[in-house]
């Protein structure tokens, strides 16, 4: 597909919803992921499964680390606080939480993010299995922090 001078490949990424898609613009090193991947989070599983979401995140993890990720919402602060409870010993995550808190306090956006940053600090990208992702997603669904 093309949008003006930009060419994008369309990736099917079902899990949040059955027909969810992402637009990957490889030449521009960016991807628009909707509600599949967030800064330090992932979308709720409304119409899909943890297996689908895990597969989606693993495919996204295979993109170059400098790929800019544009998600649909600014949930970064809440996601950061949850992520810190999942991986309290992750130093990169602790630094990122502090940076996000400062940015949001200053009224600054925290997206886009990058694949590399998500690989280092996103507990959903770092889940070793669909079962682990499902457990983390259920915990995030009930998180109040």
pTM, entire model: 0.94
Please report the pLDDT score of residue 79 as a whole number.
97
Q: Cα dist. 47→16, 52, 79, 112, 133 in Å?
A: 6, 10, 21, 25, 16
Domain ranges of the chain: 2-138
The mean pLDDT value of the chain amounts to 96
The DSSP output letter for 34 is: E
118 alpha-carbon distance from chain centroid: 7
Domain spanning 2-138, CATH class: alpha beta
Please report the pLDDT score of residue 103 as a whole number.
97
Report d(CA 42, CA 14) in Å as an integer: 12
Angle at 85 between CA 81 and CA 88, to 5 degrees: 110
Number of H helices, E strands in the chain: 5, 9
Q: 81: pLDDT confidence band, cut at 50, 70 and 90? A: very high
Torsions phi, psi of 135, nearest 5?
Answer: -60, -45
Tens of pLDDT, residue by residue over 32-79, are 999 999 999 999 999 999 999 999 999 999 999 999 999 999 999 999
The DSSP output letter for 108 is: -
Torsions phi, psi of 97, nearest 5?
Answer: -60, -45
Report d(CA 53, CA 130) in Å as an integer: 8
- Nearby residues of 56 by Cβ (< 8 Å), 6 or more positions away: 13, 14, 15, 36, 37
Please report the pLDDT score of residue 3 as a whole number.
81
Please report the pLDDT score of residue 56 as a whole number.
98
């Amino acid at each position: 597909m093309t949008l003006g001078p930009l060419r994008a490949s369309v990736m099917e990424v079902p899990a949040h919803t059955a027909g969810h898609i992402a637009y990957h613009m490889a030449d521009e090193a960016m991807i628009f992921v909707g509600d599949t991947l967030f800064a330090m989070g992932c979308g709720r599983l409304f119409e899909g499964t943890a297996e689908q979401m895990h597969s989606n995140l693993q495919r996204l993890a295979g993109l170059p680390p400098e790929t800019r990720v544009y998600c649909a919402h600014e949930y970064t602060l809440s996601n950061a606080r949850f992520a810190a409870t999942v991986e309290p010993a992750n130093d990169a995550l602790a630094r990122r939480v502090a940076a996000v808190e400062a940015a949001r306090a200053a009224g600054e956006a925290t997206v886009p993010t990058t694949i590399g940053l998500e690989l280092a600090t996103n507990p959903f990208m770092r889940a070793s299995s669909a079962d682990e992702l499902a457990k983390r997603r259920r915990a995030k669904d009930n998180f109040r922090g």
